[in-house]
Amino acid sequence: MFTNPQPDTPDNKWRHQLDRFIKSHHLELAALSWALWQENGNSQGTIGIDLEPTPHFVYCPDTAIEQFNDRVENRLQELLGLIKHYKPEIEVLMVGIGKDQVKLIYFEPKPEPPVCFQQLGKDVDTLLEELEVKLLATGINNDKS
């Protein structure tokens, strides 16, 4: 009845793996998102998960996203709109970066990000370290084919 509109090619495999990771760790990602927002606001840009050479968290400055949007003929307009209207107290907004492509990571967790952060009771550095270790363990982006 339902079909997958995008075949599981190497170009798309990382996207599916990242989707599974986000689903499994959405509360930790919400806590991290809130903690980083409390630390930096939007002064550093949007949080990204860069999968190369190994998975790690980065900031994507707004100017870099805007320049990339220009290079891809304005196909990132929706992403730019979400960034502009981002509500960190109820949403998680990140950008997955892999194989010269980007993937929007957006969800509204329950409970909200501030509650996730409070319930986990971990500082930013601990959350970053633990999530990066878990990202590495998933094997995302190990397939270079």
Rounded Cα–Cα distance for residues 125 and 43 (Å): 18
> Is pLDDT at 1 greater than 60 in this prediction?
no
The predicted model scores a pTM of: 0.88
Question: Quick one: pLDDT at residue 98?
Answer: 87
Average pLDDT over residues 10-19: 84
Q: Is residue 11 in a domain?
A: no
Q: Is residue 85 in a domain?
A: yes
CA torsion, ordered 69, 55, 139, 86, to nearest 10 deg: -50
Q: Is residue 134 in a domain?
A: yes
> Is pLDDT at 83 greater than 50 in this prediction?
yes
> Is pLDDT at 5 greater than 90 in this prediction?
no
Question: Quick one: pLDDT at residue 85?
Answer: 94
Q: Is residue 102 in a domain?
A: yes
Q: Is residue 4 in a domain?
A: no
Chain segment 15-53, per-residue pLDDT in tens: 999 999 999 999 999 999 999 999 998 899 999 999 999
Rounded Cα–Cα distance for residues 22 and 44 (Å): 22
> Is pLDDT at 3 greater than 50 in this prediction?
no
Range of the domain at 38: 26-138
Number of domains into which the chain is organized: 1
Question: Quick one: pLDDT at residue 2?
Answer: 41
Average pLDDT over residues 74-82: 90
> Is pLDDT at 6 greater than 60 in this prediction?
no
